[in-house]
A and B are shown apart, each in its own frame.
Chain A
Amino acid sequence: METVRLAAQAMGTRFEAVLVGDDAGFLRAAAEEALELIEDEHARLSRFERDSVVSRVNRHASSGWVGVDGDFDSLLSLCDELVRATGGAFDPTVTSEAGACWEEVQRDSGRVRFLREGVCLDFGAVAKGWALDLARETLLEAGVEMALLHGGTSSVLALGAPPGEEGWRIALGSEGGASCLLKGAALGVSAPDGEAGGEGHVLVPGSGAAASEVSLAAVVCESAAWADAWSTALVVLGERLEPCNGMETAFLLSGEALDCSVGWRGDYAGAFRLP
């Protein structure tokens, strides 16, 4: 068995890919294709890149309709679902001027506009997962069966499991602490202070204040985009969390305590483990 590891800088973080299989050349080509796709999504979705699609929309959508391609439209549809599912705890307009919300983003067959000035889109809480989901599709199409991809350790995607293992074991927080066993699924991790331990980077929609009710939220489900958005929403919601259909497993960590939300358990029950 061969193992190939590659990395790329995108979305303000380091994406890494670990692929396992028989042919190192094939695995490398597959990893490159997956990471290039992630770089392409960065170029399209980063609001810090002047020539990205999202920057274009943010510049012009307050003045009228802006045409977008089908993939961007699909991301907006996904955000629509996520905003509804999380009751607005996930909201890609969170960095807009105070008072703005997703309801002020209007869509119509390949076009988007904002209902007023000051609204802007920021896909920071979903873009890494969205890109990982696209990368998974590419890897599966190529015929890759065993792989682990992550973006900045907060968005993780597993294809299959390493040879002879139940799944890919991911440490949560400090080494030797809680972990997650991931097989053919995605993990999203969110913390109010980020991995660097600085000021809060998850904002509460509406108030714009930094969220701080939990120290870390982690979600396992099929889609990396859903895991990403939901982990952010859980940090925002904290203990006010209500079980929700469509989510297989959720998990909150307050301090050193592990708290699996029983109501959310499904296909991935038991993914989170204590030492």
Chain B
Amino acid sequence: MENNILKLFILLMIAMYCNSCEFEPSAVNYKHIDDNIEPFQIDFELAPEGDTIYVYKSADLIINYNAENYNKKFIEAVVYKDSSRYTSSQKIGKSLKVSWNRYQKHDTMNITFAIYFHSGTGSLADQLVAETFFIEKKWVLIFYDENTLFDKKLTFDKSKGDMRISWNQIGERDFKSYSLYKLTNNGYSSSLIGQVFNYEPKSTLIDSNYVGQESFYVVIFYDKFGKYIKYEKQRVEKDKLDFSYHLNGNELSFKWTKSKYYNNFERYFIGRGHYFGDSYRVLDTNDLNVTQYNIDYFYPGSKTDFVLTTFAKVENPIYGFRRDTLLNVQNGDDFMKFDRYSHSTNELALLQVEDEISVVNLNSLEVLNTFKGNDDKFKISLNNKYAIGVKNVLNFINLENPSIVKSFTVDEITNGGCSSFDYTYEPDVSNQGILVTRSAPICGSSVYFYDLINEKFLFEHSKTGKYGMKKTLFSKNGDYIFASVDGMWKIYKFNESELVRITNASIQDINSRILLNPYDNNQFVYTGNTGFSIYQINPFKNIKSISDKNFLVQIDFKKGLYYSREIIDLNNGVVIYNSNLQEKNLETGEILREKLINNYKYFYFDDNIYHENGLTFNF
């Protein structure tokens, strides 16, 4: 037992010796811990604003520095190229020359310039290891030459009614001047907007004649080595005219917002009717502050297009435009405005506003129904029971209970491939079914008739080749189907779920069109490239033919106040004008007066002169 006590005693001694009673100093004596290190102020003679220096070709870069005014002991100035030490100097005020291999192409290079000083603070580091302070400046060098457009983005500000062009100038070094030009008429003419001869970090020049037409703005920068060009194109930005209407009795009031291009404002104009229709002026004022106009003789119930336009002071004058088709719903209400208007009979129209389509009776101007949809194009069957709309898919619409009841993809309806729904070969609808054509050089051309009642395809005809089947349409009561087969128009009749060709007679289909008389189911007009003819379908008969390919032909079908008009160029069968439902009473098949001027065809209509492509016109 005594041995155990002795062992314990020894253990306790060892523990006493090894425990944490050993002295561990922890007190401190800090001095100058709060010393403020004064900021360094060094003058760089080459210290352009920003972090970029433009270097012409392979010219040397000279960095002038002056560290004499600093009260610390200067050590050296060093230039680093990228991250490698490149050159240095131990002189307190001097230049450092930075050059590079002239045969090596550089696009950009990172340069760091640093000046080192003894800290002189007397700190521990200063005494033991010569503590050093330094300041540095970094640049990105961009090398350019005559073939390089100087990389400065032009910014355009049109918010103040003129065009303000701004850009950040390149470095002051070697700067001589900037010139700003505007090119118009596709660069055939130019005008000097302004010049800058004094270096400033940012330049702004104003084109006070900006009227929104497409222009090229060109900035030419000159330095002592040459000139460098930057140009950008600005497109038309039309005035957004917020155009609203209200009808009270027979008084129609217009309101709109003031033109924002007031610096170039010339006049407002409100025209009534279509460009190629019976347009006439209801307002023409050069007062910028006029923002409303009243018409006291507007008769409710008529459908009218109104056009609000603002004009500028210089050429290409139109720069604000708004057109609306008005459909008066009820006297005293605001007008219905719509984004898209489509109809296929004189009784019903489908009016689309955003993603909502309204079915409107054109006689009573009553909205019959509305449903969701945003199709680009509609056709309504003559019996007003069905419609189709096309936008990527073909939607079949039941108008008696308005809704899209069935949708077809192009593959579903044409059995796959080689087809698309487009406006050239647009589908047609009748109370019997839907006609869809497809035409493609590889797949051939086919006509599909989809029986809406039995929900199956009844009719298909296909032929490859130049004169493949590419056009089909129903007669207006749906009894007849016109199909272009093998380059000839043929007429079919729907008979107890079968389609039967009703006559052996065929009409050549080369650059031709079949125009159906919407008011006479038994009549259509054929226009070819040698003239036009009016046919009776059953029994098949040529009623009238006029052969003269050098003239435009105007086809009018009329019924009461409404009429449908198409103007066709007989040279190529192209319809250059189509209008519906206007209050005119014209003869069918009128040949228009036309005149060739400098190989451009102009024609006269309603005492106005129209260009053949419809892009320009005179009021």
Whether chains A and B associate is no
